[in-house]
Structure 1
Amino acid sequence: MKKLTIATRGSKLALWQSHHIKSVIESHFSDVEVELKIIITSGDKILDVPLAKIGGKGLFLKEIEESMLRGEAQMAVHSLKDVPTVMPKGLLLSAITTREDVRDAMLSEKYPDIASLPQGATVGTSSLRRRMQLAMERPDLVIKDLRGNVDTRIRKLKEGEFDAIILAAAGINRLGLSENVGYFYPISLDEMLPAMGQGALGIETINEPWVLEIVEILNDRNTHIETAIERGFVDTLQGGCQVPIGVSARVQENGEVVVRSILGLPDGSEVMGESIRVSIDNTEGVGESMAARLIDQGAMELLQRAEAMASKE
């Protein structure tokens, strides 16, 4: 019997994701026993500072990756949107699972959608990308930073600290929390483009043949195509969560892939982006070339200004 250890954060969502992958692996491999090792990360400890100021989503991965490199675990299960585009030496992004809902969602006790929020309503989000697109649609809103796990964020909403909060729909769906609030409104891609990889799980592993053989069953082809485009786009722009970037690649039933992007200043006052369609057989380098075209139009300068604006807040 082989033992496979998954390093995981202790939040409800992280544990749900790791238990889900554990059950899939054990259902396919009767000779593999999977255990979970809970790790407290820097991102879990620092809750009073916006992510963009303290190094971004990578703070949730550092200690987990160090544990894997020490040989204490062979695998980690991440929300793919949190995984940087460059992997540490010795570790691999070995599988990407079938996507859940890619959209963001608005949760509110009183208001059914963004349009119904009253003038000057307070909205909570920790994402510069969401902040930018909210400000474009509703410049009158007061957008405040919101940190903590999903339960903490919903509690702050219910206590009246916010009129609405914005979270990834996938996490709410996975935890079955949509009924816990008055209104759960998945935001259409026409209103808000998601983060790269949103809705998919990224399986990070050590570079061991027996581990790579196991995780092969977790891969989803269409999700792999979509997220490779999205990650290529963000990687070319050298963008993490310190800058506002939204990107969506969606495989269509007719064999096309629709790719849309947006980037700009956190206050939504300046944005740029692109929308294209390509054949599913011709997606190599699509994200990178879309980013290159935007770079030619001044995207890097715009993102530098966005980073400077975010660091001052």
Structure 2
Amino acid sequence: MSQSPVKLGTRKSQLALYQAKLVQSLLQAEVQLVKVTTTGDNNQTKAFVADRDKKDWIKEIEDLLMLGEVDFAVHSSKDVPVDIRPETRLLPLTSRASPLDTLVVKSGKKEIVEASTGGQVLALMDSGACVGTSSVRRRAQVLSQRSDLVVSELRGNVPTRLQKLDGGAEFDAIILAAAGLERLGLFDESRMFNFTADEMIPPVNQGILVAQYLRSRDDIAELLSPLAEGQTHCAWQAERSVIDKIEADCGSAVGVFAAYESGVLSLHAAVFSSDGEKILKAHAEGDPRDAKALGAKVGELLLAQGAKDYL
């Protein structure tokens, strides 16, 4: 008798399906995709709700995990809150894609061709120009560098956001994750400019894929374990430990980025006021094997500066 396929839960967006199919292709098993419409998918035109926004992207998939209708799920880790269902666990998969943010300018803009980074392009934009993003972190960092720009709400999946930029007059530029653009084959060097991590600190876990499955499913843990990658796991753990320590949610303007430097894990974090006028920064380095403790240390450094006032 043939073994039943493993069921992988995923959102229906183009990017989510790409990511799920990537994991599907790497596993040594027959894997069936189960496509799920989440609350977040249905609410993409609605105003941002800080305390539940990330949960909205995974709630229905978590429900299917609990019911046994899917065996595991694949998410963009940046979209997964700290407080997942306690019966489940997370495992980062494969090597990290780019963690950086990308400034995308409207098609046909020629005056910024000599710029090479997102920060340089941002500096050249006309006063009063409009930048689209739904992220409070990106908004705060844009305003901290260019308080004379207008930052407006922009929601939707990656192709939809690009269409809104090029199809209307509201936005002069938008900010997206480099990883999503690259995975979808949409990165256009003529009008897309990555911010350096110094110009715009990324959000926790951007560029990392993560699996979610029931703690009781040792068989799924064994199936997924070959896709785990040590450096990605340490960076993932350190970054999540920071936001866990300071109890940040997706309504907080917080950036966290871990990188390896000569075998040492270097962790940077920043908390911004919503208008970008106040910035708290913290940095620490340590053994990658102590990633969780390193993240907690950086979180404590932020709390000591009064980070709670801006969360």
Conserved? CA contact 2:91–2:211, under 8 Å: yes
Select the residue among 68, 77, 90 that pairs with 1:80: 77
Report the Cα distance in structure 1 between the residues aligned to 2:245 and 2:166, rounded to whole angstroms. Answer: 40
Report the Cα distance in structure 1 between the residues aligned to 2:287 and 2:68, rounded to whole angstroms. Answer: 42
Tell me by how many angstroms 1:270 deviates.
1.2
- 1:234-249 alignment, distance < 5 Å: 234-249=243-258
**Residue aligning to 2:266:** 258
Which string of whole-angstrom CA distances, capped at 9 and with x for unpartnered residues, describes residues 55-112 of structure 1?
A: 2221010001101111110111111111112320221103333100010001112245
**Cα–Cα, structure 1 residues 238 and 54, in superposed 2: closer, same or farther, change >3 Å?**
closer
- 1:265-280 alignment, distance < 5 Å: 265-280=273-288
Which string of whole-angstrom CA distances, capped at 9 and with x for unpartnered residues, describes residues 2-54 of structure 1?
A: 411111111000000001000001xxx2xx21011111111111123233446
**Cα–Cα, structure 1 residues 271 and 116, in superposed 2: closer, same or farther, change >3 Å?**
same
- 1:146-295 alignment, distance < 5 Å: 146-159=154-167, 160-179=169-188, 182-207=190-215, 208-252=217-261, 254-295=262-303
Identity, % of aligned positions: 34
Report the Cα distance in structure 2 between the residues aligned to 1:96 and 1:18, rounded to whole angstroms. Answer: 11
**Residue aligning to 1:57:** 54
Unaligned runs of 5+ in 2: 114-120
Q: Which of 188-197 and 284-293 deviates more? A: 284-293
Unaligned runs of 5+ in 1: 304-313
Partner secondary structure for residue 273 of structure 1: strand
**Residue aligning to 1:106:** 103
Conserved? CA contact 1:97–1:218, under 8 Å: yes
Select the residue among 116, 128, 133 that pairs with 1:125: 133
Partner secondary structure for residue 202 of structure 2: coil
Partner secondary structure for residue 38 of structure 1: strand
**Residue aligning to 1:23:** 25
Report the Cα distance in structure 1 between the residues aligned to 2:249 and 2:5, rounded to whole angstroms. Answer: 34
Which string of whole-angstrom CA distances, capped at 9 and with x for unpartnered residues, describes residues 149-186 of structure 1?
A: 1111000000133100001100000000013x850101
Report the Cα distance in structure 2 between the residues aligned to 1:50 and 1:262, rounded to whole angstroms. Answer: 25
**Residue aligning to 1:3:** 5
Q: Which of 39-48 and 9-18 deviates more? A: 39-48
1:12 maps to amino acid: Q
Task: Note if 1:45 corresponds to 2:42.
Answer: yes
**Residue aligning to 1:296:** 304
Q: In angstroms, what is the RMSD of aligned CA positions?
A: 1.5
Task: Note if 1:94 corresponds to 2:91.
Answer: yes
2:19 maps to amino acid: Q
Which string of whole-angstrom CA distances, capped at 9 and with x for unpartnered residues, describes residues 218-254 of structure 1?
A: 11100111111110000111112111100111012x1
TM-score by length of 2: 0.91
**Cα–Cα, structure 1 residues 149 and 284, in superposed 2: closer, same or farther, change >3 Å?**
closer
Which string of whole-angstrom CA distances, capped at 9 and with x for unpartnered residues, describes residues 235-276 of structure 1?
A: 111112111100111012x11122111102111011101123
**Residue aligning to 2:142:** 134
Conserved? CA contact 2:7–2:32, under 8 Å: yes
**Cα–Cα, structure 1 residues 204 and 266, in superposed 2: closer, same or farther, change >3 Å?**
same
Count of aligned positions: 296
Report the Cα distance in structure 2 between the residues aligned to 1:64 and 1:194, rounded to whole angstroms. Answer: 26
Tell me by how many angstroms 1:283 deviates.
3.4
